């Protein structure tokens, strides 16, 4: 597909992987629990990087649906619906995300919601599942998008 919007999708895909990769690195740094300015900075940077990673992932999925002529999900649950719809094929398109990536993306979505609304109660010990999900997304998202593009435009 020669649609120029693919360059935007590629940029957002790169951004998602970049943000998730850096979030993982920040999470693994010593001092996340420290009650110091450095500890606070690490916690906030981690949550923001996770937030940015998932937001970029959503932008990719929304842009793909637009290229395919498919309406974006709407309503209160549109963020979750977007991920689940991307994992389902339709008569007009194959699935964009594998079940494993769907599960990981849903986990990062839930963490993004937490990071946006409950940052005052963040405990780094509770973030392990989101970090494992970010690892899966960082490792497989770009390949999934490239494969999807190849399938719809060989």
Q: Per residue in 28-57, pLDDT tens?
A: 999 999 999 999 999 999 999 999 999 999
Question: What pLDDT sits at residue 61?
Answer: 98
CB 13 within 8 A of CB 145: yes
Q: What is the pLDDT of residues 121-145, one digit of tens each?
A: 889 999 999 999 999 999 999 999 9
Which pair of structure tokens corresponds to residue 51?
A: 């937030």
- Whether domain 5-152 has CATH 1.10.12: the reply is no
How close are the terminal C-alpha atoms of the chain, in Å? 8
Per-residue pLDDT at 47: 96
Residues 53 and 59: beta-carbon distance below 8 Å: no
Quick one: pLDDT band at residue 1, thresholds 50, 70, 90? low
DSSP-derived secondary structure letter, 35: S
Q: Where are the domains of the chain?
A: 5-152
Q: Whose CA is closest to 143, among 48, 16, 51?
A: 16
Can you give the pTM of this predicted structure? Answer: 0.94
User: Would you state the pLDDT for residue 119?
Assistant: 76
From residue 70, how far is each of 83, 84, 86, 152 by CA, in Å?
14, 14, 11, 14
The pLDDT score that the predictor gives to residue 2 is 65
């Amino acid at each position: 597909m020669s649609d120029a919007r693919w360059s935007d999708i590629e940029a957002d895909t790169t951004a998602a992987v970049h943000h998730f990769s850096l979030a993982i690195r920040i999470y693994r740094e010593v001092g996340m629990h420290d009650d110091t300015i450095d500890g606070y900075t690490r916690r906030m940077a981690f949550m923001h990087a996770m937030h940015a990673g998932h937001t970029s992932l959503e932008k990719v999925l929304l842009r793909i649906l637009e290229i395919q002529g498919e309406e974006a999900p709407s309503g209160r649950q549109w963020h979750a619906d977007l991920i689940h719809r991307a994992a389902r094929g339709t008569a007009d398109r194959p699935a964009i995300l594998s079940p494993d990536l769907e599960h990981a993306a849903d986990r990062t979505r839930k963490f993004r919601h937490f990071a946006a609304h409950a940052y005052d109660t963040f405990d780094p010990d509770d973030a392990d599942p989101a970090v494992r999900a970010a690892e899966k997304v960082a490792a497989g998202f770009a390949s999934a998008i490239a494969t999807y593009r190849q399938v719809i435009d060989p």
